[in-house]
Amino acid sequence: MKKNPIQKLISVLPSKTGVYLFLDAGRKIIYAGKALNIKKRVHSHFTSIRPGNFLTEIKKFKYILCDSEIEAIILESKLIKKYKPKFNVLLKDDKNFFFIAATNEEYPRIFITHRPKSDNLLKIIGPFTDGRAIKKTLSLLRQSHPYRSCKTLPKKPCLFYYINRCPACCTKKITAAKYKKTVSELLSVFEGKISLNILKKKLEARMNLCSKKQQYEKAAIIRNQIYDLKKILLHKDLLSDGREDVWLKNEKYLQNFLSIKNSIDRIEGYDVSNFAGSSATASMAVFEGGQPKKSEYRIFRIKFSGKEPNDTLMLYEAISRRLRHKEWPFPQIMLIDGGKGQLGAATMVLRRAGLSKKIKAVSLAKKEEVLFFGKKQIPISSGLPNDTGLLLRHIRDEAHRFAKKYHLKLRNGSFFENN
């Protein structure tokens, strides 16, 4: 049985992410759509053609491949704005299109709206057809480019500041010039002026420059931005959680690398923070499915009372006390912030507890960025897959951040939990 002309056209379409265009007999674009799988999406359009349906006017297809679904969403918006395909306009009136807006203020507010007309807007970008997808995209990019979303600036930082989604414009913790640079980069992505890959390269260049100048804290912040951007680029479906795919790859690699037979349900990160041995604390950061589970973070007030500060003995104490909590799920991996000495302490605790076969201990040194496991020493940058290295750094950095936070609270006389 011969294929009809439309089926032939569909059969040569790629099963890849991008934008597809429907053209009429006059080769005019009459519809534009985005798809994770172009062939599958176009085929779904033609499952119910009825007389008078706009599909009967289609005589030709075109498509443009994209690196990610985010870029497909942005390209779809640009094409609709440029060509104004009649069936996009008929299927979605102005009230159903979505626009990203930035206010004309010292610290611009970013928000999504159906009504783009306003006297107080710095910029308006759109139209976008998929509200859920554009909200998800904006939310993801907020991880790497935090922005203000409140209508009225509060008097003190809100929750978004503490979860790194806003730079606290209300208290001017960031300069207006630096904030506007962040907003400009964010909006340039949605305008299609800069791709996520190019933005990632720009951030990598900034990070390397900060490292050369020994501005390690700034470099760490930019590194986290790069990590978040890479997660965005790896998203396969903005209406679900594409992070699972990244985690599955990391899990498989870690299983092979550390000889772990079972699934990796939990990784715990540990660090010690003290000032000349006083006000010492140890932290336990928890990651499940490659993501932090902050509700299960724990802090230990160190009881070690030696004359000289000893991070190794403090770590030994913290892990020993952690293992007494049988009600907490045991991890498959313990990641220690440190080198051989810290790894040796963790390994000894696990061995004495009879858990060395069930829980694998590794350590990650800060300055050298070298991973220690048993007698192995592996540079993160060249010895591990990039995403796995980023994950291990993230866990290490979270443990360090959490330990330092509570150590400072203790020095300032604040109350904190003692496990």
**10 Å Cβ neighbour count for 242?**
20
CA dihedral 340, 342, 347, 350 (to 10 degrees): -170
Q: How far apart are CA 202 and CA 185, in angstroms?
A: 10
Bridge partner list, 63: 20
The dihedrals phi and psi of 95, each to the nearest 5 degrees, come to -70, -20
- One-letter amino acid at 15 equals S
CB 18 within 8 A of CB 34: yes
Q: Which of 347, 369, 345, 344 is nearest to 356 (CA)?
A: 347
Tokens of 328: 């907490």
Could you give the domains of the chain? 5-90 (3.40.1440.10), 96-233 (no CATH), 243-411 (3.30.420.340)
Q: How far apart are CA 253 and CA 386, in angstroms?
A: 11
Give the pLDDT score at 240.
Answer: 42
CB 333 within 8 A of CB 388: no
The dihedrals phi and psi of 162, each to the nearest 5 degrees, come to -75, -20
Q: Which stretches of the chain drop beneath a pLDDT of 70?
A: 1-4, 47-54, 89-96, 116, 118-119, 231-245, 275-279, 304-309, 407-419
Tokens 């990019």, residue? Answer: 141
Q: Which of 396, 349, 398 is nearest to 371 (CA)?
A: 396
Give the pLDDT score at 125.
Answer: 87
Tokens of 305: 């009372």
Would you give the DSSP letter of residue 367? Answer: T
